[in-house]
Structure formats: C-alpha cells, structure tokens
A and B are shown apart, each in its own frame.
Chain A
Amino acid sequence: MKLLAFDASSPACSCALHLDGEITERYEIAPRQHAALILPMADELLTEAGLKPIELDGIAFGRGPGSFTGLRIASGVAQGIAFAADIPVAPISSLATLAQAAYIENGAKKVFAAIDARMSEVYWGMYIIDKQGIMRCEGEESVSAPHHISLPNVEDWYGVGSAWTIYADILATKCGLSQEDESYPQARAMIPLALAAFAEGQIVSAENALPVYLRNKVV
C-alpha cells in the first residue's frame, strides 16, 4: 500500500511515506513552520520514490489533540490530497502515535501519553499494545488538569509526551516509568496505526478528515 502520513500537532512537523513495507520519513522540530514544511516534505518523499501524488492509495494525518492551527493544517492538507486523488483518509490520534513510538523504540506495552494543552491542562490517554503490535486506547482521550488524572495500577504505565516537561512532578506520581526526553508525534510511528485503520475500515472520505480538538469550549 502506498500511504502518506503526516503530523503537525506539535512543535515538530513530520511526514512519512509507506511504500509496500518500506518507510521513508522527514522530521523537523520547527515551531510555526508547518505550513512551510509539510508539502515540501511530502513532495521530496514522493519524488525520491518516483511517485506522483495521484498514485497514492491512502492518507493518514495527525487528527489531534494538539495545536489547533497545526491540526487544521494537517487536516486541510489531508482533505486537499484525498479529494484531488479520490482516496480515503485514516485520522490518527497524536496520543496514540506517541504510544506507538514508545512501543517501537522502547518496547513499552502500556503507555500513558500526555500532551501539554496550555491553560494548566493536558490532553491524555492510556494505550495498551494488542497482539498485532498496535496501540489501542483504553477508555477515552480527554483534557484535564494533571492532578485530576488517575491511572489504575500506577507502576504498569510508561509515560510519554510534551506534558512531561512541564508537569513531570505531578505526572511522575501517576505511572512507574517515563521517557526522559521530550517527545513529539512522528509520522513514522503513524504508519502501523494507519495500516491497521485501513485494514479495519476505520477510514473516512476527504470532507470527513477533521481535527479532534478535545477542548471544545473556546469562547
């Protein structure tokens, strides 16, 4: 399957191309540069693979939660490509992407992913690896003050995400281990999630490739 994945939900911008089992990627930490970077990254990956955009089979985009503007850039790009190429889209959670990366890189099987949501809150969710090596959300993703979060069996969870740099003290009491460096969603880690979504039919048409903000009270 020829699948293009990208994420702009954090200060990082990344794009990955899955071409029949092979993955190539571009990743850059570049706050507020997503609009300038995302299509050039995609174009480079496709050019290297000798592909035209119209030859893609599917799109995956980081649907959130995260920066509202970044989510809409990714959503808008996904919609534009999917509509013009007449292909389906897999909206991928940025929290699930963080969890999937923790599995790929550190073998973590139960992940507590948390992203800074500003306004003294975090976006968070719990993920458990399934038999096929795909991170699945336990319960629902939500937005709340970090001290309100409670996880069952504290020591089981591996913590990841940008919320850790800001609320390390509070979050450290919620799980056993945590990643030491700040981590952002990477398009490479979206590929297994997206392939699973396509296999399971968890896909939408261009106009339904919409962000999931989690924070909906904005006025």
Chain B
Amino acid sequence: MRVLGIETSCDETGVAVYDSEQGLLLGHALHSQIDIHAQYGGVVPELASRDHVRKLIPLIKNLLHENLIKQSEIKGVAYTAGPGLIGALLVGAAVGRSLAWTWQVPAIGVHHMEGHLLAAMLEKPAPRFPFLALLVSGGHTQLVEVMARGKYTVLGESVDDAAGEAFDKTAKLLGLGYPGGPAIARLAERGNPDVFHFPRPMTQRPGLDFSFSGLKTSVLTTWRAQVQNEQTRADIARAFEIAVIETLAIKCRRAIQQTGLKRLVVAGGVGANQRLRTRLREVADKMGAVVYYPRPIFCTDNGAMIAYAGSLQLMAGQSEPLGFSAYPRWSMNELK
C-alpha cells in the first residue's frame, strides 16, 4: 500500500510517500519556515498556518513528479492530527482528507509524537519492539515505553519547558540566533567544559520526569554576573549543553534499568545533536543496550514518519470519517 504522509503541525511542511509492500520510502520533501519565524525569535502560529496553505500542494506535486509516482497509485493518506498548532494542523488535515475523499481512498490522522517514535523504523537496522524511546524536541521531552505499534506508556516527561525549548530560550538570552539548538551546539564547540557548572534538574530524586525551566534561569544569572565576551558565551553554551545532555543521559540510564529494555530509540529535533548521540551511545554500551537514531533529517519534523506511522494504522484497517479534526493537545497514552 502506497501512503502519502503530510506533516504540518508546527513550522515545517513535510510530505512523503511510503510503500508498505516494499517496506520502502519512495520519496520525501520538506519546506522549512525557519526564515519566516527567525526574526520573531520563535514560531508565530498565524504565519505558520499561512505558509503551510501556500506550500503544501506545490510540495506534494513536486514529490510525486520527481519520484514518478502517479496519483492513482496512492492508496491511503496520512496527516498529522495533533498535537501541535491548531491552525497549522488543520491545513494538513483539510488537504489530506480532501485528497483522500477525491481519490476515494482511506485517510488517517496520525499522532505527531507517534510519528517521531517510529521514525527509526525507516532505518536499517530498524529497532524491534519492545523498545524504550527518548523523544526530545522543541515541544516535547518524554521517555516512552513502546511495547508494540499503538501500545505506548509515557514513563516520564517534562513538567515545564521541553529540552528544545530550553535550547531556544537559552540561545535567545545569550544573544544567539533562532533556532537555538544548532546555534548553541556550534558555539559550544569552542567552549571550555570546565569553567561553569549548571545543575542537572530533577536527577537527585527518583522518577523519570524532566524540568528545564530552572536551567535557563541559572544560565541567565551566570551570564549577567560575568564579563560578557565571546569566550564566556561559548563556555556557558558548553556548560548548558552538557547539563541538558547529562540530565537526559541520567534519565535514560534510569529508564533502561527500570524497564529492563535493551533497545533505546532517540528521536525529535534535539536527537540530531551529535554530542547527545555520542553520550547516549556510551551510556547504552555500558548497560549492554543498543541505541537507534533516525537519520538527522528524520529527527526533526518530516512527512516520512507520518506516512510510515499512518501506513501501519491503515494496514490495520483503521481510518478517519470524512469530518476531520485536529487535536492541539493529545496524550500518547490515549492511542490505540
């Protein structure tokens, strides 16, 4: 079954076609809105929606054309139904549901985080179920136990800022560009890891929840108390990055111990951070576990993960009625 996937939950328009018989991604395309939002230091929801409605059909048109896929070959449509920005989600849902209606094929609304969870399945080797997943992005920080498709238990999550959000906010107060993750990672290259030390929030008490909002306050206090030069900025960026990575590493180690699972999947935009990847691999090696990552372009938002996750649901006979919906807040524990 060839499934068209559409992702429009935030500031990336992503499309892809996945062929479930061949187990093959036939093509994918992405349009990033970073330039539109950069001047505001964060995503402006109305501008995001306006851009999705301009870019989605041209992106699908090119995707089909460049990969020599005929419209008549598409047997299902999957779109991100939530969580995310309501206006942005509705664009993908409206276009996706209408394409499916016109082609007279089934459609399915996919949970964005389920897409991220399963993105590593597009890689070789793909992780086998069950596995533990760390989802780290601008909107989410979660540890999830994945028993099978649709069987997810959130073991822990951020009680305030997501890890990616902490990167963005810290970058902003250090006067760096948007998005903050790559900006901090670049600057941290030149930073001395031993000059500053920031707390590893919520690692002293039991549990798998995260909290990152205090960390940016520590960064701000430190930055204000220093002579503000390039080296200090780099040193702080390095210490901040280490604090986030170590916090994530400590919780992953704890989750592996707690669940006994030997496979760890890391996904979400922050999962593209190379030092995080290296550190989690060290942690996993010591515990006899294996870490799986999607390729960096599938760590951030993309249509491929939606096409894949949607194909599994469509193959299982699930589909959406003609009336479409978007869910800005949607817990993964509710999935079936």
| Contact across chains for B104 and A52 when beta carbons are under 8 A apart | yes
B95 contacts A by Cβ under 8 Å: yes
Question: In the assembled complex, which residues on chain A have CB atoms less than 8 Å from the CB atom of B98?
Answer: 39, 76-81, 84
Surface stretch bound by A, among B54-62, B246-254, B272-280: B54-62
Report the Cα distance A207→B65, complex, angstroms: 15
| Contact between chains at B323 and A40 (CB < 8 Å) | yes
Q: Is A53 an interface residue (CB 8 A)?
A: yes
A109 to B197, CA, bound (A): 75
Please report the C-alpha to C-alpha distance between residue A49 and residue B189 in the assembled complex, in whole angstroms: 66
CB–CB A79/B54 < 8 A: no
A interface: dominant SS? helix
Q: Are A81 and B53 in contact (CB under 8 A)?
A: no
Instruction: Select which of B56, B87, B323 is within 8 A of A79 by beta carbon.
Output: B56
Interface contact B61-A83, CB-CB below 8 Å: yes
Q: Which of B39-47, B201-209, B220-228, B258-266 contacts A (4 or more CB under 8 A)?
A: B39-47
Proximity string of chain A (199-219) to chain B, C-beta cutoff 8 Å, 1 when within and 0 when not: 000000011001101000011
Residues of B within 8 A of A207 (CB): 54, 57-58, 61
In the complex, A98→B102 CA distance in Å? 29
What's the A-B contact tally at a CB cutoff of 8 Å? Answer: 106
Contact bitstring B179-196, A, C-beta under 8 A = 1, else 0: 000000000000000000
Q: By the criterion CB–CB under 8 Å, are A80 and B90 in contact?
A: no
Task: Decide yes or no: A69 and B99 within 8 Å by CB, A206-B57, A218-B47 being known contacts.
Answer: no
Chain B interface bracket (under 10, 10 to 19, 20 to 34, 35 or more): 35 or more
Bound-state CA distance A188–B90 (Å) is 25
* Chain A contact residue count (CB 8 A cutoff): 31
- Pick the contact of B53 from A43, A54, A210 — CB < 8 Å? A210
Shortest Cβ distance from A35 into B: residue? B324
Interface centre among B49, B96, B326 (most CB of A within 10 A): B49
Tell me how far the C-beta of A67 lies from the nearest C-beta in chain B, rounded to whole angstroms. 11
| A-side contacts of B61, CB under 8 Å | 83, 207
CA distance A81 to B57 in the complex (A): 11
Tell me the complex Cα distance, A79–B58, Å.
10
From known contacts A37-B323, A39-B324, infer whether A79 and B102 are also in contact, taking CB-CB under 8 Å: no
Q: Kindly state whether residue B91 has any CB partner on chain A within 8 Å.
A: yes
Contacts A72-B53, A72-B91, A210-B54; A80 near B47 (Cβ below 8 A): no
B87 near A69 (CB under 8 angstroms)? yes
Q: Is the CB of B102 within 8 A of A54?
A: yes
The answer to whether A97 has its CB under 8 Å from any CB of chain B is no
Are A80 and B322 touching (Cβ within 8 A)? no
Sorted from nearest, which 9 A-B pairs have the closest CB atoms?
A80-B98, A76-B94, A84-B102, A36-B323, A39-B322, A207-B57, A53-B102, A80-B99, A80-B95
Interface set of A (CB-CB < 8 Å, partner B): 35-37, 39-40, 42-43, 52-54, 68-69, 72-73, 75-81, 83-85, 206-207, 210-211, 213, 218-219
B→A interface (CB under 8 Å): 40, 44, 46-47, 49-50, 53-54, 56-58, 60-61, 71, 86-87, 90-99, 101-104, 321-326
